[in-house]
Chain A
Amino acid sequence: MDVFMEYVWAFVIGGLFCVVGQVLIDLTKLTPARILVSYVVAGVILGAVGVYQPLIDFAGGGATVPLTGFGSLLAKGVKEAVDKDGLIGAFTGGLTSAAAGITAAVFFGLIAGLCFKSGSKINEK
Chain B
Amino acid sequence: MNISNQEYGELTKKRSPNSKMYKTLPKAFLIGGTICTLGEGLLNLYAYLGLKEEHAAALTSMSLIFLSALLTGFEIYDRIAQHGGAGTLVPITGFANAVVSPAIDFKSEGYILGLGAKMFVIAGPVIVYGVSASVIYGIIYYIIGLF
Contacts and interface: CB of A to CB of B under 8 A. Distances in A.
A89 B134 CA distance: 10
Contacts of A109: 69, 96, 99-100, 103, 119
Interface string B60-103: 11101110011011110010000011110111111110111001
B24 A26 contact: yes
Contacts of A44: 130, 133-134, 137
A15 B36 contact: yes
Nearest to A95: B131
Interface in A3-39: 3, 6-7, 10-26, 32-33, 35-37, 39
A59 B90 CA distance: 16
B29 to A, nearest CB: 4
B142 A82 contact: yes
B113 interface: no
Contacts of B122: 32-33
Q: Which of B72, B93, B103, B123 has the most CB of A within 10 A?
A: B103
Contact of B70 (A74, A98, A112, A114): A112
Interface residues of A, number: 79
Contact of B100 (A26, A35, A36, A112): A112
Given A60-B40, A108-B100, A65 B92 contact: yes
Contacts of B38: 61
A115 B61 contact: no
B contact residues, range: 35 or more
A14 B72 contact: no
A93 B75 CA distance: 35
Q: Which of B32, B39, B70, B74 has the most CB of A within 10 A?
A: B32
Contacts of A19: 25, 28-29, 32, 86
A116 B29 contact: no
A41 B130 contact: yes
Contacts of B145: 82
A87 B137 CA distance: 11
B57 A64 contact: yes
B77 to A, nearest CB: 10
A101 B95 CA distance: 10
Q: Which of B62, B123, B131 has the most CB of A within 10 A?
A: B131
Given A22-B21, A60-B43, 10 more contacts: A10-B33, A10-B37, A14-B33, A14-B36, A35-B89, A75-B134, A89-B138, A91-B138, A119-B75, A121-B78
The 6 closest A-B pairs by CB, nearest first: A14-B36, A90-B138, A18-B32, A15-B33, A61-B40, A21-B86
